[in-house]
Amino acid sequence: MRTVTLPVPRAALAALLALSAACGQTTNKVLLIGIDGVRPDVLAEVPTPNIDRLIEAGAFSTRGNTTRPTISGPAWSSMLIGVWPDKHGVWSNDFAGNRYSEYPDFLTRLERIRPQVETFVAADWLPLVTDDSGGPLFTAEIDRIVVHDGYTAGWAEADELGVRAAAAALRDADPDAVFVYLGNPDEMSHQAWSIGRRYREAIALSDAHVGQLVDAVTGRSSYADEDWLILISTDHGRLATGQHGGEAPEETTIFVLAHGPSVLPGTIAGTPQIVDVAVTALAHMGVKIDAAWGLDGRPVALRRTRRRGR
């Protein structure tokens, strides 16, 4: 049976989270959930109780900015690496011209700096995790990568399988940095050529998946001794026709959500960029950003206090 808890007002919950982390040393960990193709204005219209609870006690912006072109390949590359397409070299959903060897994903960078960390990825869009279309974006240096093919399994089903695997790892193992990709909303909008019922149902299902992952984090036996940063964002928006790739505000505007004891709650200042996501994750994990890496992003939404990593 799933336990339901009543929401705590934002200010009170934020204070409790900060106090909990301040009471002793904690191990910093990060969970990044990427939901493909979600317009912030539509997200606000869909019942998403799990995301809403994270927003209530976290930091949130509906004014984020993504790549041009507003296509998944360049956008996910920018989110997961922290640089714009002119550096990582991916301008379409053909990844063949990538410069990932020069600009690796944030989990690989974390592995190279601190090999003792445990990293985990679950994704069902193949270029992220296989050699399909010139991928993968993520390298074999990551400790565990769970792959399902959304085109063959069905996107809702493949998302669910990835979430189950990630939730099991969060409950039963000891990952430090986790990325979970949810592709169903984007695909449903493309199939329906709209931002109507099927798209909105897919967003609601992704919210349920977020709930599964958050429950797995908070249900950990060691949770009280951990400082989990939960990040959720999207790669691009879309037009009312369900399509994207251009520069209309509906396509270029994304949301960014951060939640956890190290987060300064409220509206994220300014206009967060998609390249800020990876850099924020690295900063939370205690990685000192080296200017020689050429990263374009900056940490957002984090308190300035530093806690130890693993």
Cα 201 vs. chain centroid, distance in angstroms?
A: 20
Rounded to whole angstroms, how far apart are CA atoms 50 and 232?
A: 12
Rounded to whole angstroms, how far apart are CA atoms 73 and 11?
A: 38
Alpha helices, DSSP H, located in 154-284? 155-172, 184-192, 197-218, 249-252, 276-284
Query: What pLDDT digit, counting tens, does each position of 46-57 carry?
Result: 999 999 999 999
pLDDT for position 24? 55
Rounded to whole angstroms, how far apart are CA atoms 199 and 70?
A: 18
Q: Which residues pair with 226 in a beta bridge?
A: 27
Q: Is 40 helix (H, G, I), strand (E, B) or coil?
A: helix
Q: Is the pLDDT of residue 265 over 50?
A: yes
pLDDT for position 306? 47
What average pLDDT does range 1-13 have in this prediction? 41
CA-wise closest residue to 17 among 47, 69, 52, 59: 59
Banded model confidence at residue 304, pLDDT cuts 50, 70, 90: confident
What average pLDDT does range 31-35 have in this prediction? 99
CATH 3.40.720.10 fits 27-293, yes or no: yes
Percentage of the chain lying above the pLDDT 70 cut: 90
Banded model confidence at residue 25, pLDDT cuts 50, 70, 90: confident
User: Are 66 and 254 in contact, with CB atoms under 8 Å apart?
Assistant: yes
Q: Is the pLDDT of residue 268 over 50?
A: yes
pLDDT for position 98? 98
Q: Is the pLDDT of residue 220 over 70?
A: yes
In terms of Cβ atoms closer than 10 Å to its own Cβ (0-12, 13-18, 19+), residue 95 is buried
Query: What pLDDT digit, counting tens, does each position of 146-201 carry?
Result: 999 999 999 999 999 999 999 999 999 999 999 999 999 999 999 999 999 999 99
Q: Is the pLDDT of residue 8 over 70?
A: no
